Structure 1
């Protein structure tokens, strides 16, 4: 994501008796210069809707994620100090805006927060946010996180967007000392072995935290259909559950998700209609675009988020920028909460052509060394968006194989069965597809990421 300065700044009203001329400065995201707003009393938002006394804004210290009190604060005017302001009920506002268009939502966000809000731009299809912001006619700012590991195409796209809209993206960078420490200790590609969270924390989350300390609100391109497991319930506006804004503390930052209820196809139709520039990686099969080592094109039958961190399970496919989304899926997929998860998530691959194997059933299948007929089995979890994405192709395959002598089955391998599936059934991530030949005890794992009917059929025909 990267920051872009608006074409015109909205400056706070400052009394001449309170401020010297040299103290008038423009606002910057993540900068260490004192803002002109620093001398204007502000009110911190909170999720409870309680009344809050005004307090001085704090400035961020250099090379630190913490905020420190302003070195010189003006004496509070007793008359101002006694004022109280009702904070916005953003839960109620989200319901009011639930049927509003993205244009109307962004217009409302820019109207409410002015120069204290910015669009988070990742170099993917959330360029739609910038287009909507331009259409409102209001000043706006854009920021992005340059992790140092982006594709060359993404950097070129940033430049194209700046020139197309006449803006400057406000870039945030990771701390060089932190990156150096991580790489020296673990190497350049440690995330393939121990997960992407640590690298994302250094290269993305901490720079984002610094950026948001200079804002009261931010706009993201999250959509519910991007990741059904982690983003299915995001509202169009909310008090940010993970980060703090310029006033500090819980409830000090508001998060706007204007595209929450918009489908991917509708976004792309809008981009084409408005002749908006796009990242050329999209033309190479990339849908969700992140850092180069952790992003690849999606293949037939795959969900768009499966191109991100493909070596990990679905529940880990957030980098930390939207970690507040993960709770719902974690409750559904965690073994200790499995009862609730099964009650809340509908089963998939339900067909008369697909045999539902129990734990005993698949254990017996693995013991058979001389089977009468081969078996094709998918190891799945119904909450997994990538299993959901291949449901159609697997069901079609089962219909085609009906009467062919090949049994098609499924085994739910999450929760209490996950450890068994990992040790005995080669489960790496969901979904995993196994073929049990007639005359072999050990199943053969389908190694390709292509899950369209033709690719699966070729796998079966090659082995039966």
Structure 2
């Protein structure tokens, strides 16, 4: 798939305009000169039936969203009549430029680009290259890096646009911080904080739109984004008409590799966040983002204290397969209360080398101040896909420790036992791994998301 036409074939320039403050009822989106038709290949996805010059946009503020309208409004019945599954198949091999142009053509002012301050700045570049008016919005959580705020300003000046910022509800943020502190997400998962600071502001923003454009790619998170189509009916959020199917989601970069995005960014001299050269690839809030090491997946830098296969904040929760949104617990890893779990789910960690602890058994183990031998115990739920993923390594651990003097056990901590496990056994999410030392009454909680047998053996060796 051709990512983008040669930069020599695309010659666009942002035009500057002298606009007085009284002429601006709202921020305007920069104008783009039309490309020379003879220089652009036929598959570039650009329509030349437009005016030669796009005027600056000065629009009334929306009362429900607080952001300006671009040009053109798409009819609701036209949106409903489109077959997006068919369109996704037709455009599966399309370039990002072609997909972006189609999205802006179809939805006009009823669509906006979601910009996070990371490499999805490429979306803005593609939008500019189409020659069409476009809107950009971003979620200001109040906890972004200073470099990200500076980047927002750079992007606005570079493209001559005004980013439409959405902010969390101050009362909700105040209640969360007063009740649980500034860093509760390290203890009980990032979902609650993300829900207040990101998901709800996004929900408000999308209620004023009929479509949005994201920078999601299949290679970003194989556990949750591997099947992203280039266009879809949004499975999680509602648009301005309300109800299921009222919002369309466009993912122009879905089939593009991260390295190709960066090649495009460098070729087009697109501004970048200054955190990127410091090792930050996927950039979110400051407390939840860190650089990654060479060879690490980009999502390893987000919420690094949680499971690597569940790196979603809730903005794209519709990507997660086989797990209903209502079943997600604080860490978004499927720790739910199942009413029929005993009849439908096969148990895990079935090995003669493992001790299956009852409620009484683990309570007694927890009360002992001096034990005859140390224990390592997993708190699990058999329906949890992350518990399922570590089954082989945990059984192998039990086999390796057989006869070593270290007992390996399991305790099923879902259903009726979940509240007890949360209060008495430090359960935050499934699976939770505890090490009970020989001469200490308090169990030690394994903090890492690495659950391969070597990492678990390293834990045991370090604490013996």
TM-score tier after normalising by the smaller chain length: 0.5 to 0.7
Q: Secondary structure at the match of 1:460?
A: helix
1:406-460 deviation per Cα after TM superposition (whole angstroms, max 9, x unaligned): 4556555444553343244322234422223345565332346777888755542
2:40 maps to none
CA distance in 2, matches of 1:101, 1:170: 25
Give the distance between the partners of 1:337 and 1:274, measured in 2 at CA. 50
* Mapped partners of 1:389, 1:128: distance in 2: 35
Q: Which residue of 1 aligns with 2:324?
A: 328
Partners in 2 of 1:174 and 1:253 — Cα distance? 21
Cα distance between partner residues in 2 of 1:383 and 1:228: 20
| Aligned match of 2:37 | none
**Cα distance in 1 between the residues matched to 2:246 and 2:404:** 62
Change (3 A) 1:347 1:270: farther
More deviation in 311-320 or 377-386? 311-320
Indicate how the Cα distance of structure 1 residues 341 and 98 shifts in structure 2: closer, same or farther if over 3 A, else same: farther
Are residue 42 (structure 1) and residue 75 (structure 2) matched? yes
Q: Which runs of 5+ in 1 are unaligned?
A: 14-23, 50-86
Q: What does residue 82 of structure 2 align with?
A: 88
Map of 2:262 onto structure 1: 271
Displacement of 1:290: 2.6
| SS across alignment from 1:129 | helix
Taking the aligned partners of 1:220 and 1:317, their CA distance within structure 2 comes to: 16
Q: 1:435 to 1:141 in 2, by over 3 A?
A: same
- Structure 1's 252 and 134: CA in aligned 2 closer, same or farther, altered over 3 A? same
Deviation at residue 122 of structure 1 after TM alignment: 0.7
1:183 to 174, 178, 196: 174
CA distance in 1, matches of 2:343, 2:217: 22
CA contact (8 A) 2:28 2:162 kept: yes
Q: What TM-score results when the alignment is normalised by the length of structure 1?
A: 0.62
- The answer to whether residue 282 in structure 2 is matched with residue 255 in structure 1 is no
1:5-34: CA deviations, max 9, x gaps? 354499xx9xxxxxxxxxx94477744667
Q: Distance in 1 between matches of 2:100 and 2:354?
A: 47
Q: Displacement, 1:216?
A: 2.9
The answer for the alignment partner of 1:112 in structure 2 is: 106
Q: Indicate the residue corresponding to 2:167 in structure 1.
A: 174
In the TM superposition, what are the counterparts of 1:48-59 in structure 2 within 5 Å?
49=80
**Structure with more contact order per residue of length (Cα contacts < 8 Å, sep ≥ 6):** 1
**How much does 1:249 deviate?**
5.8
Distance (Å, rounded) in 2 between the aligned partners of 1:91 and 1:171: 30
Which sections of structure 2, spanning at least 5 residues, go unmatched? 1-26, 35-48, 50-56, 328-333
Counterparts of 2:452 and 2:75, CA distance in 1: 55
Which of residues 358, 362, 365 is equivalent to 1:360?
358
Instruction: State how far apart, in whole Å, the 1-side matches of 2:296 and 2:392 are.
Output: 11
1:349 Cα deviation (Å)?
A: 8.0
Q: Does the 8 Å CA contact 1:313/1:429 hold for their aligned counterparts?
A: no
Aligned-CA RMSD value: 5.3
Secondary structure in structure 1 of the residue aligned to 2:170? helix
Judged with a 3 Å threshold, the aligned counterparts in structure 2 of structure 1 residues 459 and 420 are, in CA distance, closer, same or farther, namely same
**SS state of the match for residue 258, structure 1?**
coil
Q: Partners of 1:455 and 1:156 in 2: how far apart?
A: 39
Structure 1 position 397, deviation (Å): 7.0
Matches of 1:100 and 1:342, distance apart in 2? 42
TM-superposed deviation, 1:150: 1.5
Relative to structure 1, the CA distance from residue 25 to residue 303 in structure 2 (aligned partners, 3 Å threshold; closer, same or farther) is: closer
Q: CA deviation at 1:119?
A: 1.4
Residue deviations 1:322-348 (CA, integer Å, cap 9, x gap): 4555763544542225649975xx998
Tell me the number of residue pairs that the alignment of Structure 1 and Structure 2 aligns.
399
Which residues in structure 2 correspond to 1:125-164 (within 5 Å)?
125-133=119-127, 140-162=134-156
Q: Secondary structure at the match of 1:335?
A: coil
SS of the counterpart of 2:324? Answer: helix
Structure 1's 5 and 33: CA in aligned 2 closer, same or farther, altered over 3 A?
A: closer
- SS at the partner of 1:336? coil
TM-score in terms of structure 2 length: 0.62
Change (3 A) 1:185 1:98: closer
Post-superposition Cα deviations, 1:151-183, rounded to whole Å, max 9, x if no partner, equal 1021123234445x63424232437xx416753
**Match of residue 443 from structure 2:** 443
Equivalent residue, structure 2, for 1:5: 29
Question: Structure 1 residues 449 and 364 mapped into 2: Cα distance closer, same or farther (>3 Å)?
Answer: closer
Structure 1 residue 254 displacement after superposition: 1.2
Secondary structure, aligned partner of 1:159: helix
Deviation at 1:123, TM superposition (A): 1.4
Question: Deviation string for 1:215-238 (max 9, x for gaps)?
Answer: 332111234665677656654322
Structure 1 distance, partners of 2:219, 2:112, is 23
By how many angstroms is 1:118 displaced? 2.2
Higher mean displacement: 115-124 or 409-418: 409-418
